C-alpha cells in the first residue's frame, strides 16, 4: 500500500533522540528552547512556543487571545475539526465561513459577511499547504482590530508575497504530526511577534505556572505560583531533538513535495481531475495534494468509486475534509444544518487527496496517475453502455 502520507526517519534522527535519552533532561529542558528558536529562525517569527500537538496549539492560541463564552470566531468550513473544536474548548462559538471553490481557502467575502458585534477573531486555515489571502483578511480585520490566527498546520515552509508562514498573522499554529512536513511524533507550536501572547501560551502549556522546573532548578528554588489556568501541553526534549534533526532536512523535502505536485499537475492536464488552483503569489508547502473529479468525469465516476478502487489497487487515497459543521456533534449538539456553506459542501462531494510525501518516487506518482485515469475512464465507458 502506498499511504497518503508517511514520515521519513533516518539514522540522524534516531541518534538525536538517543542523545537526549542519555542526557539529564527528558522534558522541560534545553532542547525545547533550542527547537523553538530553530523553528522561529526558519520562519522569521520572533517567538515560538512548543506544545504537545497542533490541537493544543490551537487551544493555546484561543486562550491567549482571551476568547471566552459567547465570543464568535470565524473559521472556514473546510478544515480538520480541531480548528473549530479549539474555539469550543474555551467556550467560544465557531462561525463558519465558506471557501473559495478553486483553492478551498477561506473566502474573504464570506468572512466579511459573517462579521458581527460578537466576532472576536478570525482563523485562516492554510489548507493543503497554501497560504490564504492575508492581504484581504488583514484589511477586513483591521476595520475592527480583530486578531488573525493562521492555522498553518499544513503549511510549514510556505510563503505568501515572499514572506514565510509564521509571520503572516498575529498567531500562527503549526503541527508536527507524522504526516506533516516535519515530525516530532506528536507536537505543535505557536509562533508570534508578540511577547505577551508568547508568555501567556508558555504558562498555559505548563498548568499556568509562573516558573518551569528548569527555571526553578537554575534559581535553586522550589518556589512557583499558579497565575493562570493551564494544562500539561508540554513537548518533551526527546520530541524536540527529533524536530531539530528533521527541520534541517525540510528545504529538500519541500522541493520534493513541489516536484511531486508538478508531476501530478502535468498528468491531470487531460481534465479528468482538477487540481486546486495555486495562487501566483505563494510558494505552496504541499502537505496534501487535493484534486476534484471534473464535471465530465463525474458523469460516469463517483468519488466513492475512485476512492474504493484506488484503495483496492494499493493506493492510499483519502478525503480532506467534510465541512466541520456536518459532523454529528455539530449537528445534534450545536444545531448546524446543511446549506450553510454551499461552496464547501459542493467541493466535498468530489474532492480526493492523493499520496503526498517526499519518499514517493516518480514511478510511484506515475503509477498513481495511470490508475486514476484507468479507473475514471473505465467508469465512463461502463456508464455510457
Residues recognised as catalytic: 180
| DSSP of 344-365 | HHHHHHHEEEEP--TT--HHHH
Question: CA torsion angle for 276, 281, 285, 288 (degrees, to 10)?
Answer: -10
Instruction: Note whether 268 and 369 are within 8 A (CB).
Output: yes
3-class secondary structure for 110-166? HHHHHCCCCEEEEEEECHHHCCCCHHHHHHHHHCCCCCEEEECCCCCCCEECCEECC
Instruction: Note whether 289 and 353 are within 8 A (CB).
Output: yes
Instruction: Note whether 278 and 284 are within 8 A (CB).
Output: yes
Instruction: Note whether 98 and 126 are within 8 A (CB).
Output: no
List, in order, residues 6 or more apart from 184 with CB less than 8 Å away: 35, 176, 235, 239, 240, 242, 243, 246
The rounded distance, in Å, linking the Cα atoms of 45 and 167 is: 6
Instruction: Write phi, then psi, for 175 (nearest 5 degrees).
Output: -125, 140
| DSSP of 204-242 | HTBTTBSS-HHHHHHHT-----B-S---B---BHHHHHH
User: Exposure pattern of 138-167 as b/e (b: 16+ CB <10 Å)?
Assistant: bebbeeeebbbbbbbbbbbbbbbeeebbbb
339: left (phi over 0), alpha (psi -120 to 50) or beta: left
Amino acid at each position: 500500500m502506498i499511504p497518503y502520507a508517511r514520515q521519513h526517519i533516518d539514522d540522524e534522527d534516531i541518534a538525536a533522540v538517543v542523545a537526549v535519552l542519555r542526557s539529564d533532561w527528558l522534558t522541560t529542558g534545553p532542547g525545547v528552547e533550542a527547537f523553538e528558536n530553530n523553528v522561529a529562525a526558519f520562519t522569521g517569527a520572533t517567538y515560538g512556543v512548543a506544545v504537545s500537538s497542533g490541537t493544543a496549539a490551537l487551544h493555546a492560541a484561543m486562550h491567549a487571545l482571551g476568547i471566552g463564552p459567547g465570543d464568535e470566531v470565524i473559521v472556514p468550513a473546510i478544515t480538520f475539526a480541531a480548528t473549530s473544536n479549539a474555539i469550543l474548548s474555551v467556550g467560544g462559538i465557531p462561525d463558519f465561513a465558506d471557501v473559495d471553490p478553486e483553492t478551498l481557502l477561506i473566502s474573504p467575502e464570506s468572512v466579511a459577511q459573517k462579521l458581527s458585534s460578537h466576532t472576536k477573531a478570525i482563523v485562516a486555515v492554510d489548507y493543503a499547504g497554501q497560504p490564504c489571502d492575508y492581504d484581504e483578511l488583514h484589511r477586513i480585520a483591521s476595520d475592527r482590530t480583530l486578531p488573525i490566527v493562521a492555522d498553518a498546520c499544513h503549511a510549514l515552509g510556505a510563503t505568501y508575497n515572499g514572506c514565510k508562514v509564521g509571520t503572516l498573522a498575529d498567531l500562527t499554529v503549526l503541527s508536527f504530526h507524522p504526516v506533516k512536513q516535519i515530525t516530532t511524533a506528536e507536537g505543535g507550536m505557536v509562533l508570534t511577534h508578540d511577547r505577551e501572547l508568547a508568555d501567556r501560551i508558555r504558562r498555559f502549556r505548563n498548568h499556568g505556572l509562573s516558573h518551569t522546573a528548569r527555571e526553578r532548578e537554575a534559581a535553586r528554588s522550589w518556589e512557583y505560583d499558579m497565575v493562570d489556568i493551564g494544562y500539561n501541553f508540554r513537548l518533551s526534549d526527546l520530541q524536540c531533538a527529533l524536530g531539530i534533526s528533521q527541520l534541517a532536512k525540510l528545504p529538500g523535502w519541500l522541493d520534493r513535495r513541489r516536484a511531486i505536485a508538478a508531476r501530478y499537475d502535468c498528468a491531470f492536464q487531460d481534465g479528468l481531475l482538477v487540481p486546486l488552483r495555486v495562487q501566483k503569489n505563494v510558494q505552496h508547502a504541499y502537505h496534501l495534494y487535493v484534486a476534484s473529479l471534473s464535471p465530465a468525469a463525474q458523469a460516469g465516476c463517483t468519488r466513492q468509486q475512485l476512492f474504493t478502487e484506488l484503495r483496492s489497487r494499493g493506493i492510499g487515497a483519502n478525503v480532506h475534509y467534510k465541512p466541520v459543521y456536518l459532523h454529528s456533534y455539530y449537528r445534534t449538539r450545536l444545531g448546524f444544518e446543511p446549506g450553510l456553506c454551499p461552496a464547501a459542501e459542493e467541493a466535498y462531494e468530489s474532492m480526493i487527496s492523493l499520496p503526498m510525501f517526499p519518499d514517493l518516487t516518480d514511478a510511484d506518482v506515475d503509477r498513481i496517475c495511470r490508475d486514476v485515469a484507468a479507473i475514471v475512464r473505465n467508469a465512463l465507458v461502463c456508464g455510457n453502455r
